[in-house]
Structures are given as C-alpha cells and as structure tokens.
Amino acid sequence: MKLVLLGAPGSGKGTQASKISGRYGLPHISTGDIFRENISAKTEIGLRIKRIIDGGDLAPDDITIEIVKERLSAKDCEGGYVLDGFPRNLAQAEALEGFDPPDAVIFIDIPLRKLERRLTGRRSCKVCKGSFHVDFIDDEKVCPDCGGELFIRKDDSTDAVRERFAVYEEQTRPLEDFYRKKGRLKAVNGDNGAEEVFAEIVRAIEGEK
Ligand code: AMP
C-alpha cells in the first residue's frame, strides 16, 4: 500500500504517519525529518537548506524530489510507503506520479486558525522524534515517552509558522483538487484527538466508510 498524508503544518501528519506505519508495517518517510537530519549532520544538502527551512519556506524541488525518489527505491519500500510532508506542491505531485504514485492520499482536514497554537506550543524530542504539546506534558524539557531532551523547532516560531501557513495555502492546497480529480483523496476530520483521527484513517484505508 502506498499512502500520502496531506495536511497543513500541525495537522498531525507525523503522528498519524507513525501510527499507520506501526499498524501496516510500512516505512514512514518524512521529508521534514530527512531535512532536519541533514541539517544536524551538516551535510552539503543540510547547509544549503538550513536557512530556507528555519524561515518556513520550502526546500528546492530538485533536491526534494531526488531525495524521495532515492528513498522510495530502497528495499524496505517494496511493499509500499507512508509519505509524510511530500508532495507539497504540484511539481512534486507530478514527479511522484512519474516514479511511484500513491494508491490513496489521506487529507487531514482542519482549519488553519486551529493550528497556530498547536505549532507554537509544540516540543519535539531529539531522541525518538515524537512531538508533544506543552499543555499536555508535565515537563517542557523531557520527553514523556523516552526521557529524551525536548526542543522547540526553529520553524515553530510564530513568524515561521505564519510563513508556513502562507506557503501551504499557496502551494500545497491545490493538491487536494489534484488528488480528488484522480479519485484518490480520502478526507478525514483532523479536529479530533489523535486516536479518533487514526480510527477514521483506518476506516478510510480499509474502505469501511
Ligand atoms: P515538516 O516537518 O513536514 O513540517 O517539514 C519541515 C520543513 O521542511 C518545511 O517547512 C520545509 O521547509 C521542508 N520540507 C519538508 N518537506 C518538504 C517538501 N516536500 N518540499 C519542500 N520542502 C519541504
């Protein structure tokens, strides 16, 4: 099964992708994670994209598409994938159609005005990569799942979040129509708890809707 998770920044793509990956045994591929790893490791790509990502803009398509194409050609993707954060614009979606098109695109639907606080209050774990909201954890610095150190992503600052929303509206929003027209878009209500959203995704995937 080949799945794409589509949704605004903070809509819960990462959380849901990791649950889907656990349930169906599919590799979870997050372009955001791949870029952040490159930035931490100070690779050539990391150095090129750090400022773009910190400011909330999109990394260049050529680099992004190449990274995904290569990742999807790995052995563990033979049985499918869960893509989280890719594609993010029409050029990327068209490219994916050319090398490994998804069977279904799960669109996590939630109004942007509900997301700003989700992102600015988000803390991410350096170790397990989980993310948590300050309203729901006891200690803002310690991961409740693995004890790792929590940090604030640079692009979760208020200015960067606004830029990410603007980029989403302009570049990623058109993908809803792109996949709807292909009959592959499955929308779920993202304005619920993570477990409820996941249950709706499972129903959508298994066609019980
Ligand atoms: P995410 O963790 O998915 O929110 O991604 C964090 C940042 O990585 C984004 O704001 C972009 O700067 C960059 N990024 C992630 N995925 C893509 C993509 N498909 N195309 C371009 N830039 C991306």
Instruction: Tell me the pLDDT tens digit for each residue of 53-65.
Output: 999 999 999 999 9
> Would you place residue 129 in the very low, low, confident or very high pLDDT band (cuts 50, 70, 90)?
confident
Q: Tell me: cis bond preceding 9? Omega within 30 of 0 counts.
A: no
Q: What is the CA radius of gyration of the chain?
A: 16
Report the distance separating Cα 154 and Cα 157, nearest Å: 6
Residues 74-124: tens digit of each pLDDT: 999 999 999 999 999 999 999 999 999 999 999 999 999 899 998 999 999
Which atom of ligand 1 approaches the CA of 31 most closely?
16
Is 153 known to be catalytic?
Answer: yes
CB neighbours of 25 closer than 8 A, spacing ≥ 6?
Answer: 79
Ligand 1 centroid distance, CA of 208 (Å): 32
CB neighbours of 6 closer than 8 A, spacing ≥ 6?
Answer: 13, 105, 106, 107, 108, 172, 175, 176, 179, 185
> Would you place residue 207 in the very low, low, confident or very high pLDDT band (cuts 50, 70, 90)?
confident
**Does ligand 1 have an atom closer than 6 angstroms to the CB of 58?**
yes
Which atom of ligand 1 approaches the CA of 160 most closely?
10
Ligand 1 centroid distance, CA of 39 (Å): 12
* φ and ψ of 104, to 5 deg: -150, 150
Distances (CA, A) of 37 to 33, 46, 96: 6, 8, 22
Number of residues assigned to the chain: 209
Ligand 1 centroid distance, CA of 23 (Å): 25
Which atom of ligand 1 approaches the CA of 57 most closely?
12
**Percent residues over pLDDT 70 in the chain:** 99
Report the distance separating Cα 94 and Cα 87, nearest Å: 9
- List the residue whose alpha carbon is closest to atom 5 of ligand 1: 32
Average confidence score pLDDT of the chain: 95
Mean pLDDT of 151-176: 94
The token duo for 62 is: 């050529």
Residues 70-88: tens digit of each pLDDT: 999 999 999 999 999 999 9
* pLDDT given for residue 209 in this prediction: 46
